[in-house]
Amino acid sequence: MLTISTTISCTILSSEQQTEKQKSLVFPFTPDSAQNWSFVSDRVMGGVSEGQASLEQDKDISFARLTGNVSTKNNGGFIQLRSSSSWLNKPLMFRNINDSEKAGQELQGVRLNVRGNGETYYIFIQTNQTRSPSDNFQASFQTNNAWQTIEIPFKQFVRERINYNGSTNIVESHISPKNIRSIGITAYGRDFAADLSVSQIEFYY
């Protein structure tokens, strides 16, 4: 498992003078961050996909880059940049998300600043509701070779569970933001060459 020696630092954006309610929680990938993100692939379950994650710089933009070849052989089919989900040492990112309703608001969705190679990628979210690594809320997004902001409301995420025989089923459920415990930026589901850069993850109200 490859670990990026970077954490996401948290910036809270406040609204204007008449209210102090938060507008979003912003987590950029930066060289001086302290949190761990890990590269994970389907090899943990017998697959043959291969890849890597790295922290890179493009002029004034620092970003995490996920590259590799996704293969669906041996019931595999993913590579992923995944956040830590330790309960004993919960990352600042998730402490802030889990406490987000204290201001009387609920987070509505997630934004990513991304650059890719024209392929479709996924965000996988795990919460207290999901029971295993193969049980995720997921949503897809399309990329191109320019930096762009992708916005996905939580209501667009679908909970999909992969069974032991490789089949999948959709579970009727919805994301409770205060219960989010892990996020995966994922190349998934088909044979292709992946190349995805992410400079920032933002949760918005």
Q: What is the pLDDT of residues 41-84, one digit of tens each?
A: 999 889 999 999 999 998 899 999 999 999 999 988 999 999 87
Report how far residue 59's alpha carbon sits from residue 107's, in angstroms, rounded to the nearest whole number.
Answer: 31
Q: Note the pLDDT tens digit of each residue in 82-114.
A: 987 655 455 667 777 877 776 678 899 999 999
Report how far residue 110's alpha carbon sits from residue 25's, in angstroms, rounded to the nearest whole number.
Answer: 9
Range of the domain at 18: 2-204
Report how far residue 102's alpha carbon sits from residue 190's, in angstroms, rounded to the nearest whole number.
Answer: 41
Q: Note the pLDDT tens digit of each residue in 117-173.
A: 999 999 999 998 888 878 899 999 999 999 999 999 999 999 988 766 666 778 878
- Angle, CA of 118, 124 and 129, to the nearest 5°: 165
CB 203 within 8 A of CB 20: no
Q: Per the structure, how many domains does the chain have?
A: 1
CATH of the domain at 66: 2.60.120.430
